[in-house]
Amino acid sequence: MMLETIKDIIVKSGRASEYRISQRRKSGLEWYFVKDKLDSARDVETTLYDVTVYVDGLAAADGADGRTRGECTVLVQPGSAAAEISAIIGRALDTAAGMKNAWFPLPKPSAWQPIQPASRFDGLTPLQAMEAVRAALYRHDGLDGASINSLEIFLSCQRQRLVTSTGVDVAWSSWVGFSEFVVNAGKRGQDEVELYADLRFADLDEAQLSEATRRQLAAARDRLVAVPTPALSGLPLLLAGKLAADVYEYWFENAQAMAVYEKRAAFGPGDDVAAGGGDGDLLNLRAVPTLAGSPLGAPYDLTGFALKPVDLIRDNQVVGLVAASKYAHYLKLPATGAIQLFELGGGRTLQAELRQRDHLEVLTFSDFFVDSTTGDFGGEIRLGYLVRDGRRQPVYGGAVTGNLVENRGRLLLSSEREGTPMALAPTCCLLPAVSVTPGG
Amino acid sequence: MDTCMLGDFLGSHQERLRSAIATLAGRYDYVSVLGSDSSGVAFRVSPQERRVADSSWSERGFVFRVQQAGRIVEHAFNVLPSGDLAAAVAARIDSQLADGPAARVYPPLPDEPAKAGFFATVGQHPLTADPALVLDRLAAARAGLMEQSPEIVFSSANAEFVQVRKIFISPRRDLAQAYVWGQAYLITVAKRGDDTRENYQPFSGRKGLELLDELPSAVAALAKETVELLSAEKPVPGEYEIIADPDVTGLIAHEAFGHGVEMDMFVKGRALAPDYLGKSVASPIVDMYDGAAAADQCGSFLFDDEGTFGTTTKIIDQGILVAGISDLQSAASLGTRPTGNGRRQAFDHKTYARMTNTYIAPGKDTLEAMVASIKRGYLLQKMSSGMEDPKNWGIQLVLTIGREIVDGKLTGRMVSPVVCSGYVPELLSSISMISAAVELGGSGACGKGYKEFAKVSSGGPYIKARMRLG
């Protein structure tokens, strides 16, 4: 009803060349625990409308064909009266009319029917779903003396509908789950340690949920016996799971048409991402709209483009870019839609073999960063493992820094892959060129 | 000057909300409602493209909070029911009280009488301005950056303004406030061969369009600094004498003893700070503060998201840890007075104990004397990110610029990026000089972990200390 009202106001204004209306309904529960007791609980019911209006014009200097397109995105709050909506839309149209960006097309309806991964949350009541997540996350609480200090669970069902002036009218729903948990090991006081982790999920995979907290509880026990990171030189860095995916994301971020258009990207179509050198594994990168268990994907982008997997890098050569309609048009590339997730092919070496080599693995950073523009990465070590001469010593403190340009062509990838919210990608990787600041 | 107003939406619903609160007060031990109607606009000018969109900080909705038999439950929504509001809220609250796992019992939340309003003035109201004129000013700054050097391959100019409008109603409190904050960024990327460097200059304050007046004078220095970064080397890992500029000092204050004294972390047993109250945690020349009333910056307000008036909290007094900052729930649990630090990302997010304006107080030294006192070290500038570890007192700062100092002089050489790590008490105890002027910045946002973003500011003077760099 509200969506129709907004649409009518835009159409009746007669000023919009195109429009896009997105309706997002969220219904969620949130539980906050201290130890194993519920500290507080919340429920959230919201509906939001994002509206983008486009106004075309002519300017000989802009756009290959002289056409221009201005756009403005506004939020329309549910329950707004028609007069308020008209004022908001009017302001957006005025703003869009004042902009003279190069023209670009909006996607038209597609015969392609994207498939949303199924979720085992379907069919459960919100309370049943929350209780199942809680039970799974607490399954290993107290393991060998390590315990959950505090834990938060957010679970919502989100329904989205997208209507555009080009005829797109699509709807989909998804489960969005998030948990943040802190675990302790040791005795209260100076000796007690804590580790933080979070988890995104879209499926009720109880084994995966309980394994996430079990791993963290085991890590907290290792942190108790860790020693300050010593001075190290020449040892490669091993990263696994989400940290490895953060590294892989550098190539995904640089394979975005917007980054190439703005001349920020580290490489472009046809480039060799290894710059011809190195004995590392070949990179094979593919953009994918959704991944099983991930709440971050979507079958359509914000403009209604029906998303399909797209190859980006094949054997180190850039063969495609993630290109929303606008930047595809600007760069004269095939449009792919704004795909959010990726898959990276496995390497030549088993994870176990990579782990047998001398290396420093960092399991938890204070805040791991990877700069997709400069390639810089690093962070302070909260818990790592120094593997040398077959011995594995937990370490903490100090920091790791490096640059992915200096590591290009030299990255070693495990042949096994695992899913993270962002990617299906090699379980771990070995980065040879890093610098380690000792701790303690 | 323009005055910020509460607006029709909240104004038109106040009576209905008061009526619902009066009804629900007979049903629950504690009840309150926070209403938000904040709107903002974000501008971006990048190569060949201009964009305008509503700010992601925009929000409109309500959250009812209830305490019953010690349990705390909330219902957040943005579509007001057409019928009996109190009954609709009670139905959602009661279903949560009836179901779910075993819960903690909290002491009664306070509800002291208060009626107040705050309606700030702003130089040029950003939400009534012509967007085209704002974009033109940003475009001019961006073009200025590109003209400075052929090695600058990308630049953008961004600005965002938000008008915050909130009401808080409980049986004994009736509060309203409206104010504006603004932030802007100039961003540059320079390339030389395979080397790519990125830099930025932030601007912020409880300001309207007058904030944009500050952009032109920053253009040449930012461009020069970005090109200099192309010659930057990696720092040799080790411990150094450092000078933190006011932004970096603020980041240290924020990460070291800002997050570390958020008292909801005390309740969870996630902080070492309770064991150190009344004890030395920093050099005796260090005083540190937080508070919505402590400064006029992006973390300033009349009342927090639980209806508690903003205050000024002295956290460190001459090196001694003296107090933390709290939300209502943690203060009730710990038996302390709430400090006005209960904040939400938005109406549909939970309240946590959060910082507001956090800073280290001024000293008596000069920057020149600090530089002259250093045998070998760095002047640290341009924060990129930071993270605290309140339980183990670790700290990580990532900075874009370290300017080398040798034998008391800046050499002109630069290192980048700089990852600073260390043990918080060691870092704060090593502070040996503090300059006289305090500057605060409030661009960006502060997260609790990796979520729950809140608008804060942080800052201080230049400080001299020791840190591990890598």
State ipTM: 0.95
- Nearest residue to B351 via CA among B330, B332, B327, B334: B327
Distance from CA of A111 to the nearest CA of B (A): 31
Parse chain A into domains and list their residue ranges: 2-224, 227-440
The closest CB to that of B50, out of A39, A73, A101, belongs to A101
Residue A228's contacts (CB-CB under 8 Å, 6 or more residues apart) are A395, A396, A397, A398, A438, A439, A440
pLDDT at A115: 82
Distance of CA A406 to the CA centre of its chain: 24
Place of tokens 């349990």: B71
Distance CA B73, CA A312 (A): 47
The closest CB to that of A75, out of B49, B54, B198, belongs to B54
CB contact under 8 A, A369 and B384: yes
User: Which residues from chain A sit within 8 angstroms of residue B75, using beta carbons?
Assistant: 42-43, 45
CB atoms near residue A332 (< 10 Å)? 7
What are the residue ranges of helices labelled H in A46-194? 82-97, 126-137
pLDDT at B183: 98
User: Which residues from chain B sit within 8 angstroms of residue A148, using beta carbons?
Assistant: none
- Cα–Cα–Cα angle for B181, B17, B308, rounded to 5 degrees: 50
Closest residue in B to A154 (Cα–Cα) = B349
CB contact under 8 A, B52 and A99: yes
For chain A, the average pLDDT equals: 95
The closest CB to that of A366, out of B51, B104, B396, belongs to B396
Place of tokens 């007690």: A192
The predicted-structure confidence for A203-257, as pLDDT tens digits, reads as follows: 999 999 999 999 999 999 999 999 999 999 899 999 999 999 999 999 999 999 9
Closest residue in B to A41 (Cα–Cα) = B73
The predicted-structure confidence for A86-115, as pLDDT tens digits, reads as follows: 999 999 999 999 999 999 999 999 998 888
Distance from CA of B46 to the nearest CA of A (A): 8
Percentage of residues in chain A having pLDDT higher than 70:
98
List of domains in chain B: 2-229 (3.30.2290.10), 238-469 (no CATH)
pLDDT at A270: 96
Q: Would you place residue A434 in the very low, low, confident or very high pLDDT band (cuts 50, 70, 90)?
A: very high
pTM over 0.90: yes
Q: Which regions of chain B are under pLDDT 70?
A: none
Phi, psi for A38 (deg, rounded to 5) = -65, 120
Distance CA B359, CA B253 (A): 6
Distance CA B25, CA B40 (A): 34
Query: For residue B137, what are the CA distances in angstroms to A117, B43, B185, B186, B391?
Result: 46, 11, 13, 12, 46
pLDDT of A294 higher than 60:
yes
Distance from CA of A197 to the nearest CA of B (A): 9
Distance CA B58, CA B411 (A): 46
Distance CA B65, CA B346 (A): 14
Q: Would you place residue A60 in the very low, low, confident or very high pLDDT band (cuts 50, 70, 90)?
A: low
CATH of A2-224 given 3.30.2290.10, 3.40.50.620, 3.40.50.970, 3.40.50.1980: 3.30.2290.10
pLDDT of A59 higher than 80:
no
Distance CA A258, CA B159 (A): 20
Residue of B41, B49, B263, B448 to mutate for A, most A C-beta atoms under 10 A? B49
